[in-house]
Amino acid sequence: MHPVLVSGAAGFIGYRFVERCRKEGIPVVSVDAREHFMARPEHRDLDTGAIVDRHELFDWLGAAPRALTGIVHLGACTDTTETDEKLFTRDNVEYSQRLWTYATERQVPFVYASSAATYGDGTLSYDDDESVIPRLQPLNAYGRSKQAFDRWVLQQGSTPPAWSGWKFFNVYGYGERHKGHMASVVMHAFDQRWAGGPIRLFRSHRAGIADGHQARDFIAVSDVISVLMFALTKPVARGIRNLGTGTARTYLDLARGVCRALGKSEKIEFVDTPITIRDKYQYFTQARMTRLRDEGYREPFTTLEAGIASYVGALVDEAVRDRLPV
């Protein structure tokens, strides 16, 4: 079997995808900044296969014929607070275009990560009808970069033999600690309550929405990996689709779930949403999942309560192992 090339392989979702490949006996070529594979303690004891530095990838691809089963492109700058448009153009748009072009020329199946950030404030709903994509108005530079690549893909006359893009909603799960402030609210809530303090959530600044009732479509990373594997191996022939659960849950639900999983009392406080992101803040997201189901994907999605319980268990084990204070 030829290997699957995974970009962003030292990242949160990429590493979990490599892990799944290894469990199923699928060889991989792991692409990312080489130092990330060594510097992230949550990524332990996994054979990531051949490692290629992300800055050397196209030289590596051009140096010799490379037989690949597929390309799963998960590498990107995902910081929604970053404002450098040139950085996003270089890392999220142009890099993706080069990898798509290679996959097209060599006829390698191509699966890539888009984002629910492309939907902006949700005015045009969260329906993954591709005819709506050109009209979407993302609220930040990250979302605009993902939107730019989606639009470019839909304009291409020549494509890989099978290709699919996936609009990730709010992904959470073990292995994201290196993301720092961009890690999920589940992880930050765990850290706050584990240390004995309150879980801090953003106050609502919108009439009609109570504090903590801002809602997101939270999806466990294990479900994301299952869908990506389905897309690659079915394979999904073409198209840009949502990847969420189809059910929005509130941040208050999330915080209470973390407290419950820890066996601690509910201790929650609300803080003002920073001015710098207040006008870009999404108050509701919920994926329409019909198109994935129409492809034949039948696996149930993990409930928020079950996903939090599993994740918190792993974080407790990590904290005990690393002797973090209770």
Which pLDDT belongs to residue 1? 85
Query: Measured between alpha carbons, how far is 316 from 309 in angstroms, rounded to an integer?
Result: 10
Catalytic residue among 112, 142, 172, 251: 142
Q: Has 167 been annotated as catalytic? A: no
The residue range of the domain holding 316 is 180-217+248-285+304-321
Report DSSP state, residue 303: P
Same domain, 198 and 312: yes
Tens place of pLDDT for every residue, the chain, 326 residues?
899 999 999 999 999 999 999 999 999 999 999 999 888 877 777 889 899 999 999 999 999 999 999 999 999 988 888 889 999 999 999 999 999 999 999 999 999 999 999 999 999 999 999 999 999 999 999 999 999 999 999 999 999 999 999 999 999 999 999 999 999 999 999 999 999 999 999 999 999 999 999 999 999 999 999 999 999 999 999 999 999 999 999 999 999 999 999 999 999 999 999 998 888 888 999 999 999 999 999 999 999 999 999 999 999 998 888 765 55
CB 216 within 8 A of CB 170: yes
Q: Any alpha helices (H) in 155-249, and if so which ranges? A: 185-194, 221-233
pLDDT score for 324 = 55
142 is catalytic: yes
Q: Is residue 65 part of a domain?
A: yes
pLDDT of residue 39: 84
CATH at residue 280: 3.90.25.10
In a shared domain, residues 239 and 191:
no
pLDDT, residue 233, reads 96
Distance CA(304)–CA(310), nearest Å, equals: 10
Q: State the total domains in the chain.
A: 2
Same domain assignment for residues 254 and 198: yes
Q: pTM of the entire structure?
A: 0.95
Residues 209 and 311 in one domain: yes
- Residue 206 near residue 260 (C-beta atoms within 8 A): no
Query: Does residue 23 share a domain with residue 65?
Result: yes
Q: What is the pLDDT of residue 323?
A: 65
**Same domain for 270 and 238:** no
pLDDT at 40: 85
Q: Is residue 129 part of a domain?
A: yes
In a domain, 293, yes or no: no
133 with 279, same domain: the answer is no
pLDDT at 281 (0 to 100): 87
In a domain, 70, yes or no: yes
In a shared domain, residues 107 and 133: yes
What is the DSSP track for 242-289?
A: EES-S--EEHHHHHHHHHHHHT----EEEEPPPHHHHTT--SB-----
